[in-house]
Each structure stands twice: as structure tokens, then as C-alpha cells.
Structure 1
């Protein structure tokens, strides 16, 4: 627990930092030309590079919620904790936390890393999701070619757990350690699909 506090990663410290992190998310959304106010901020995710730290965080966050899922995705555990009391940040109510245990990749900074927003749609793959996103955010069509010049990296992926039945393709937009992810289904719906 002391190790978490020294690293500034104790849940109490992270919750204090959350409004500033969301302001950075909104600045990136603004640069992308996205208006995300009407969409559900499905979950927030943090990143750490040390397994012992991930285990300490896992236990510490269980004070704030219950474990909805502990799934192996891309070879490492991804923990989802549903908050007892959803976290209100600005106009969003965030109902869960994603805590990936560290894999091969080392993150330059530990702590809050991304927020995922649900753009409701029946998109089974990243090509279909791209069409959905261009309809939701018409200016995006002109933006794709400019992203790299703005220092924004874009990644399309279709992560899935061993038992998931619901496809949930994702587009991630990342700049300066802040990432916005957009996908068609909530994490809760994906987790529930595993139980069918």
C-alpha cells in the first residue's frame, strides 16, 4: 500500500487526479473534432509496468467495487472492477475500471491511460466501426490523413477474451500519454456475453 502511495497510484490519489485526466481526454477529443458528451464513458483504464504493483492496485480498487471479470486477453490478465458507486466526472458517470496486468510493453508513465466511450452500433469488425464513426463524427473522414502530422496515433483492433461472444472492435486515438477508445458495446455487455 505504501508503494502505491509513493508512486502516486493509490486509488485515493488517482481519484483526485481524475478530473485533470478527463480534461486532457476532452482536449484530445476537441483536437479530433469529437463531441463525446452524448456518449457513455463506459470505463476508465490505468496502466502499470510492475506485476507486484498491479496486484496491489487490484486489491486496493476492490474496496471501491467488485470484480466483474478476470480474463486473459492477449496473454495477460485484464481485471474489470465495477464500482459500488459509479464515478461522476463532468457530465459522465463511469461504472467500471479496467486494470490490465503488465505484459511485454513498458509504459512511459503509469496511472490513468484511457477512457473508452460507447458509440452504439452493430459493428462486427473494425471496417464496419470505421463507417459508424464517420457517420457519428462527419469531420473524421477528412481527419484520418492528418492524424500523424498532429502527433496522434490511431490503432484499430478487435481484442477478445477466451469466452466472449460479442464482437467489440475498437478504434484508439492516442497523443501524449492520453488515449480515447471508441467501441460499439459496453464492457458490461461484453462480460455478460461470456456467461451465455
Structure 2
């Protein structure tokens, strides 16, 4: 997996993600897109992308999450999804799971709220986008996963709701990645 194919696949990925955000009703909230994430299946691919991204930005976090390194790279020139700049890329090193397709996998949106757990986050989201109640209840073809991923040094609770459909994923959480990184110190 090299940078050039990723760059070429970004327009299609961003259109597909924008369509999923619209289907969820999240597009109306104009939430900041915190970062986008990749999936790779080999350490060699991750190392290659790390090297290429370091030429286009700087690593602002190299943390162990769920037993594997995950890098956050702040880009010199943000990616764009519609009118939204995305200035960070998450590059997880592979774990025990092989992905059917390598490349862009998800975006993460910041829903500024005081939620400290997934139940509170889902209720606050439903309050502003009532149609999400059916999605979160599992009554649609969109898969929902709630989690509270945490790096070894993180001190900021950042519950996450992931909405998945057709190999795409939109995640929503209350704090941006830079705030989470800042909590590590």
C-alpha cells in the first residue's frame, strides 16, 4: 500500500463517506471531521505509509492502543471532505485481524458534548438527530458498535459510536484527537 493509490482513492472514499453521513443525518450538524483512518494488513505496508506520511506531515502521537501501535499524523496540507478540512490521519499497525480491503476505512466526527460513556453519547446524539434512535436500536442495515478505546496514557474519556455500512465507517465521539493526545501529558 503506497501513498499514490491512497491519494487517488480519496475522492471516491470521501463521496461515499459523505453519503453515509447524510444517510445518518449527521451532515446537518456540521461536525468537525477530526481525522480519517487507514487499514493495512502488513507491518511493511504500515512502515511504508509511515515513511511517506512523514514527508507530508508530522507524527503527533505514537501510542499503543489495544496492544498495537497507532500513529496520528498531522498533515501539512489537510485532506478535504466537501468543505471540511481533515488535518490528521490515523495509521494503525496491523493486529490479529486481516482486512478484506486495505486503504481508507473511516472518519471520526467530534460531537461536542459532555458524554463520558456510550449511553450518554448515544442519548445526546438522538436528541439532536432523532432518526438515529432506530439506527442505534439496530433496526436498520447500518451496524452500530459502541466502545471506549483508550491509549495507555490517555486520561480523557472519549466514548465512541461507530456506524458501519458496506465497508465504510463513520465514528462519533465528544473529544477531538488532539485533545485526547493533550490529555496524555
TM-score past 0.5 threshold: yes
How far residue 37 of structure 1 moved from its aligned partner, in angstroms, is: 5.8
1:178 partnered with 2:162: no
Q: How far did 1:99 drift? A: 0.3
- Taking the aligned partners of 1:104 and 1:136, their CA distance within structure 2 comes to 37
Cα deviation, residue 96, structure 1: 0.3
Matched residue SS, 1:133: helix
Shift of 1:146: 4.8
CA distance in 2, matches of 1:84, 1:32: 30
Gaps of 5+ in 1: 1-8
CA distance in 1, matches of 2:50, 2:124: 34
Could you tell me which runs of 5 or more consecutive residues in structure 2 were left unpaired when the two chains were aligned. Answer: none
1:169 to 159, 163, 179: 159
Bigger mean CA offset, 86-95 vs 164-173: 86-95
Shift of 1:23: 0.8
Task: Indicate yes or no: 2:146 matched with 1:194.
Answer: no
Aligned equivalent of 2:93? 101
**Secondary structure of 2:27's aligned partner:** coil
Structure 2 distance, partners of 1:47, 1:143, is: 25
TM (norm. structure 1) is 0.89
Shift of residue 133, structure 1, vs aligned partner: 1.0
Number of aligned residues: 185
Please report the TM-score for the alignment, with normalisation by the length of structure 2: 0.94
Give distance in 2, aligned partners of 1:163 and 1:174.
28
Matches within 5 A, 1:155-166: 155-166=145-156
Shift of residue 106, structure 1, vs aligned partner: 1.0
Deviation at 1:137, TM superposition (A): 1.2
**8 Å CA contact 1:18, 1:89 repeated in 2:** no
Aligned partner of 2:82 in structure 1 is: 90
More displaced stretch, 184-193 vs 9-18: 9-18
Q: 2: distance between equivalents of 1:160 and 1:140? A: 25
Q: Distance in 2 between matches of 1:40 and 1:23?
A: 16
Match of 2:71 in 1: 79
Question: Whole-Å Cα distance in 2 between the matches of residues 158 and 114 of structure 1?
Answer: 16
Name the counterpart of 2:128.
136
Structure 2 matches for 1:142-161, cutoff 5 A? 142-147=134-139, 149-150=140-141, 152-161=142-151
